[in-house]
A = this chain, B = another copy of it.
Amino acid sequence: MTDLSNDAETRLRNSFAAQSLMTFAGAEVDRCAHGLFRISSPIPNDMRQQHDFGHAALTFALGDTAAGYAAMSVMRPDQEVLTAEMKIQLLAPAKGQRLVAEGRIIKAGRRLIPVEADVWAEDGDKTTHIARLIGTMIPVDIPVAAT
């Protein structure tokens, strides 16, 4: 895993910090490398489903965001990233104190960047694999245009 330049890392962290959903969830960047991005978050009281576990959309949010920045880390500095499509396989309920998501690129394509992510729930001493995501990111020139 190659480290990013300071400039590149700053660019990714600033973009991440500009997502109000990530700020609201209390999500943080834990690891930032070439083609890999890891974040973690508590399970806010306002982001739960009907049995008080984390909502699937929170798991999706973390996995999709981690995968998106993993893709952005291999793009040109004047490019932003958009999710074209994403599939999530839910493996277990989002139960615990903290969720961790790691996104990785599958291939650094020029036009499309296939990505994947895993999400785990930390519940006391126990860590459970709760989701795998796979999807497609596309680079868009800044300022972002519609696809």
Contact = CB atoms under 8 A, between A and B. Distances in A.
Protomer copies: 4
- Majority SS of interface residues in chain A? mixed
Between A45, A52, A146, the greatest number of chain B beta carbons within 10 A of the residue's beta carbon is seen for: A146
Contact of A55 (B21, B56, B111): B21
A52 B15 CA distance: 11
B106 A147 contact: no
A42 to B, nearest CB: 14
A80 to B, nearest CB: 8
A92 B88 CA distance: 20
B21 A47 contact: yes
Contacts of A49: 19, 21
A112 B93 contact: no
Given A57-B61, A89-B106, A111-B111, A84 B136 contact: yes
B85 A86 contact: no
A91 B106 CA distance: 9
23 contacts: A16-B50, A19-B48, A23-B46, A56-B60, A56-B86, A57-B60, A60-B61, A60-B86, A84-B89, A84-B90, A84-B136, A85-B87, A85-B90, A85-B136, A86-B87, A86-B90, A92-B107, A92-B147, A106-B129, A110-B147, A111-B111, A116-B132, A134-B134
